[in-house]
A and B are shown apart, each in its own frame.
Chain A
Amino acid sequence: GESVGLHLPTLSVQEGDNSIINCAYSNSASDYFIWYKQESGKGPQFIIDIRSNMDKRQGQRVTVLLNKTVKHLSLQIAATQPGDSAVYFCAEHPGGFKTIFGAGTRLFVKA
C-alpha cells in the first residue's frame, strides 16, 4: 500500500552540527512533498516544501533534496540548534485530497 516511511526513528546530533533526516516514499505519482516539524504539545508546523519538478530547495538553514529515481526525500538542517529538537515528518501528495504522512523522526540536539 501507499506509505511514507522514515529510515530512522530517532536522530541525535551535537549542537552546531548539520542534521540530515531521510524519508522514503512509495507513490511514483506524488508530485508535491512537505516537511513538517512538531514540537512537544503542538501541532505539526510547515517547514519547507518541494515540487517534483525540482530536486533541491533551500530555506533558512534548511534544504530539502528530492531524488525521484529512488523515491527518496531528505531534510538537511544546518548548524543544528537546541530549538530544532522535535519530531520531523515528511509528507507526500499523490493527488486529490490525499496527503500521506510518515511516522516521524525524533531529533535530539545535544548541547
Chain B
Amino acid sequence: EADIYQTPRYLVIGTGKKITLECSQTMGHDKMYWYQQDPGMELHLIHYSYGVNSTEKGDLSSESTVSRIRTEHFPLTLESARPSHTSQYLCASSDQGDYYGYTFGSGTRLTVV
C-alpha cells in the first residue's frame, strides 16, 4: 500500500500547455524530491525540499517549478510543456537524518506531443 501518491499516472498533453504533477505523502516526511527518469535509465534530481517553504533546484536543469506549502504536498509545475519534457517523473520522500532511504511514488509518465 503506497504511502506516497502521484497523479496522474499517465498524461498526454499538447505543446505549450501548463501542467501540474501532484505528489502527496502521508508519512510526515520533511524531505521530498522530484526525479526525472527515462525508461531503465538513471534518476536525475530536478527539485528537492527540506520542509515547508523550502525548495531547491537539483542537478538537472529543469524548466519546472515546485512549491511546498504543506508538509505532505509537493506539486511540480511545467508552465509550457515541450516534447523534450517527455519522460517519467518520480516523487520521493525521506525521513530526517542522513541514513534513510527514499520512499518513491509510482511516477507520472508524461508525453508531450
By a beta-carbon cutoff of 8 Å, the part of chain A in contact with chain B is: 31-32, 34, 36, 41-46, 49, 51, 87, 89, 93, 95, 97-99, 101-104, 106
By a beta-carbon cutoff of 8 Å, the part of chain B in contact with chain A is: 31, 35, 40-43, 45, 48, 50, 56, 90, 92, 98-99, 101-107
Q: How far is the CA of A102 from the CA of B98 in the complex (A)?
A: 19
Among residues of A, the one whose C-beta sits closest to the C-beta of B50 is: A97
**Secondary structure type dominating chain A contacts:** strand
Residues in B whose Cβ lies below 8 Å from that of A98: 45
Can you give 11 A-B contacts (C-beta < 8 A)?
A32-B99, A34-B101, A43-B92, A43-B106, A44-B90, A46-B102, A49-B99, A97-B50, A99-B102, A101-B35, A104-B42
Q: How far is the CA of A32 from the CA of B45 in the complex (A)?
A: 18
Min CB–CB distance A53 → chain B (angstroms): 11
